[in-house]
Amino acid sequence: MKGLADIVLLGDERLYQKCIPLTPTDDVLIEQMIRDMHNTILEFRARYQAGRAIAAPQLGYMKRLIYMFVDGKSTVFINPEIIYRSEEMMELWDDCMSLPNLLVRLQRHQTIQIRFFDLHWQEHTWELTDGLSELLQHEYDHLDGILCTMRALDSQAFRWKPTPTDPLE
Ligand SMILES: [Zn+2]
């Protein structure tokens, strides 16, 4: 099973590629991806005390799938599409499992609507605001080969974030 050690890190060319849609015949692969992505979030949290969602290319799966694990609840977004972006923006420090010690100052849309398929290929449309909105915009960007570093507000919009579990010496 894949985990923390398999996260594709900043600079790897796979993070800059556009991912391809899944089909219902990919069911075995989808199960494997979700198992790997769930395990990776748990391992990432144990080390960094952060991590709410992950996009498939971050584990080297070049497919359009996002896995979110928030408040003990799993959500799988297959072939997601952002169909609405509010004009209203918010500014925040963004983080990413592929650049685990870096924070990036950027802007995201306050509200989005995202359309996606669940594991049973049922279509859903969700409206998300604030924290979940910026989270899904971040993960969605990954599917198009866009990193938060590419959305930095300016050349000083970066901050180092020490790893909580790093030894003090
Ligand atoms: Zn990320």
Asked if 124 contacts 150 with a C-beta cutoff of 8 angstroms, the reply is no
Q: What is the 98 CA–ligand 1 centroid distance (Å)?
A: 6
Lowest mean pLDDT among 9-13, 26-30, 125-129, 165-169: 165-169
Q: What is the 142 CA–ligand 1 centroid distance (Å)?
A: 7
CATH code, 130: 3.90.45.10
**pLDDT tens per residue across span 140-164:** 999 999 999 999 999 999 999 888 7
Collapsing DSSP states into helix, strand and coil, what is residue 69? strand
Q: What is the 146 CA–ligand 1 centroid distance (Å)?
A: 9
**pLDDT tens per residue across span 38-91:** 999 999 999 998 999 999 999 999 999 999 999 999 999 999 999 999 999 999
Q: Within a domain: residue 168?
A: no
Q: Within a domain: residue 15?
A: yes
Q: What tokens appear for 139 in the block?
A: 């993960």
- Mean model confidence pLDDT for the chain: 96
- Res 165 pLDDT > 80: no
Q: Within a domain: residue 45?
A: yes
Give residue 164's pLDDT.
74
Q: Within a domain: residue 48?
A: yes
Q: CA Rg, the chain, in Å?
A: 16
Q: Within a domain: residue 167?
A: no
Specify the higher pLDDT residue, 30 or 49: 30
Q: What is the 132 CA–ligand 1 centroid distance (Å)?
A: 14
Tell me the whole-structure pTM to 2 decimals: 0.95
DSSP category for residue 78: E
Give residue 43's pLDDT.
97
Q: Within a domain: residue 129?
A: yes
Q: Within a domain: residue 74?
A: yes
- Res 169 pLDDT > 70: no
Give residue 108's pLDDT.
98
- Res 120 pLDDT > 80: yes
For residue 120, the number of C-alpha atoms closer than 13 Å in the C-beta half-sphere is 2
Give residue 162's pLDDT.
82
- Res 168 pLDDT > 60: no
Q: What is the 138 CA–ligand 1 centroid distance (Å)?
A: 6
Q: Within a domain: residue 114?
A: yes
For residue 110, the number of C-alpha atoms closer than 13 Å in the C-beta half-sphere is 5
**Looking at the 3D structure of the chain, how many domains does it have?**
1
Q: What is the 39 CA–ligand 1 centroid distance (Å)?
A: 16
Domain range for 142 is: 4-160
Q: What is the 89 CA–ligand 1 centroid distance (Å)?
A: 19
Q: How far apart are alpha carbons 167 and 87 in whole angstroms?
A: 44
Which residues are tagged catalytic?
139
Give residue 166's pLDDT.
67
**pLDDT band at residue 167 using 50, 70 and 90 as cut-offs:** low
